[in-house]
Amino acid sequence: MTFTLSAAALPAFKSGLTNLRHCMNKAVANAEARGFSADAFVPLRLAPDMLTFASQIRIACDSAKNGTARMGGLEAPKFADDETTFAQLQDRIEKTLSWLATIAPTALDGRETQEVTFPIGKNKTKTMAADAYLTQHALPNFYFHLVTAYNLLRQAGVPLGKADYLMGAGT
């Protein structure tokens, strides 16, 4: 089987975000059952020097949309990064999934060796072939932020398990 960017990227980004949506829906139900607003999850962080739950959602979405756009030479939608509520973060996931649904495999396939330049930190960039960018940067970064969001919800008492993270609503 031949490696293609679309086969490696699009299903991974879509299923990861769909599973994150599922976990967030369970968080809303859990917060309601416990008598508080899911907005209480928005500022959570695992350590004082880590980014908040809101940032984890933003970066996971940005990793999917910007990674796809970079590999395909496409223009990614720009989001304001101003979400302050749980519902706004859920909407960001929906907007990202909607945009990913518009990407045809032909926009990515055949571009595996194209160079992709992307930001590393605030003042640096790195350039890699698209296939290496996907497997060594875009997907690992995406999964890092997904699992951190999952862990924040889990730490806050949301009854999530591995199946929720891996299979979402298909559990």
Tens digits of residue pLDDT in 17-59: 999 999 999 999 999 999 999 999 999 999 999 999 999 999 9
Q: Say yes or no to pLDDT of 171 above 60.
A: no
How far, in whole angstroms, is CA 169 from its chain's centroid?
Answer: 17
The full set of domains in the chain, from first to last, is 5-170 (1.20.120.450)
Q: For residue range 90-99, what is the model confidence (pLDDT) as tens digits?
A: 999 999 999 9
Q: For residue range 103-150, what is the model confidence (pLDDT) as tens digits?
A: 999 999 999 999 999 999 889 999 999 999 999 999 999 999 999 999
- Would the pTM count as exceeding 0.75? yes
Q: Tell me how far CA of residue 157 lies from CA of 4, 143, 153, 161, 164, in angstroms.
A: 39, 21, 7, 11, 14
Q: Please tell me the predicted confidence (pLDDT) of residue 169.
A: 60
**How far apart, in whole angstroms, are the C-alpha atoms of residue 158 and residue 38?**
11
